[in-house]
Amino acid sequence: MSNQRDDNEAPEYDGPSKSQLKREMHALQGLGKRMLDLSNDQLETLAISDTLRAAIGESRRIRQNEAKRRHLQYIGKIIRQETDPEALEKAIDAFDAGSEEHTRRHHLAERWRDRMISEGDSVVGEFFGYCPSADMQHLRNLARNARKDVEKQNNTGQARKLFRYLRECIDDVEAMG
């Protein structure tokens, strides 16, 4: 009864090691921790289950450190079972002001705004093709007001309002797909 295996017997793969599973759970807990730092508006835009949303709300109310740590473990477990962690991480990164995704969306909104101001309403229609959920009439009014500001060399903040609305629309359309 020897515990040694034969040299020609291949070791069986039993799945990830205990250490690997632990690293993955810590990563999911870290993702949960990042979710706790999001505002309620940002949290609403994420495609997450009601269970996870409720767990995050509950975790925000917990004050004791050990209870908070255990609850983060629970949030990590929910993330593992109910969501795609990579997609969730990408969506959270979009809120992070230093992230590449945030910068990309910011530049995209700036380009749309500049085109709407310089080229007119035809670009509004083009944007509507990109983002069908946008309020076309509201967008036209914002673009017209921003154009008037530029023509009169006035700065009443209309271009900024247009940019903010475009950014909201872009965030909405990219969060969905």
Average pLDDT, the chain: 84
Say yes or no: 172 and 109 in one domain.
yes
pLDDT single digits (tens) 98-148? 667 778 888 999 999 999 999 988 888 899 888 888 888 999 999 999 999
Per-residue DSSP letter, 97: T
Say yes or no: 121 and 57 in one domain.
no
Say yes or no: 104 and 172 in one domain.
yes
* Mean pLDDT computed over 76-90: 85
- Assess whether pLDDT exceeds 60 at residue 64: yes
- Assess whether pLDDT exceeds 80 at residue 157: yes
Please report, as a single letter, which amino acid is at residue 142.
L
Domain CATH code at residue 124: 1.10.60.30
> Of the residues 69, 95, 121, which one is the last residue of a structural domain?
95
Distance from C-alpha of 94 to C-alpha of 66, rounded to nearest angstrom: 30
What is the model's pLDDT at position 100? 78
Kindly state whether residue 41 falls inside one of the protein's structural domains. yes
What is the model's pLDDT at position 111? 93
- Assess whether pLDDT exceeds 80 at residue 41: no
Residues of the domain holding 62:
18-95
Say yes or no: 82 and 109 in one domain.
no
* Mean pLDDT computed over 146-160: 87
Q: Domain count of the chain?
A: 2
Say yes or no: 87 and 106 in one domain.
no
pLDDT band at 66 (very low <50, low <70, confident <90, very high): very high
What is the torsion angle, in degrees rounded to the nearest 10, for the CA atoms of residue 153, residue 156, residue 160 and residue 164? -150
C-alpha pair distances (Å), 86 with each of 31, 54, 68, 76, 104: 10, 21, 24, 13, 18
What is the model's pLDDT at position 74? 93
> Of the residues 66, 95, 124, which one is the last residue of a structural domain?
95
Say yes or no: 170 and 121 in one domain.
yes
> Of the residues 42, 65, 95, which one is the last residue of a structural domain?
95
Geometric angle at alpha carbon 133, from 129 and 134, rounded to 5°: 80
pLDDT band at 18 (very low <50, low <70, confident <90, very high): confident
Per-residue DSSP letter, 98: T
What is the model's pLDDT at position 11? 66
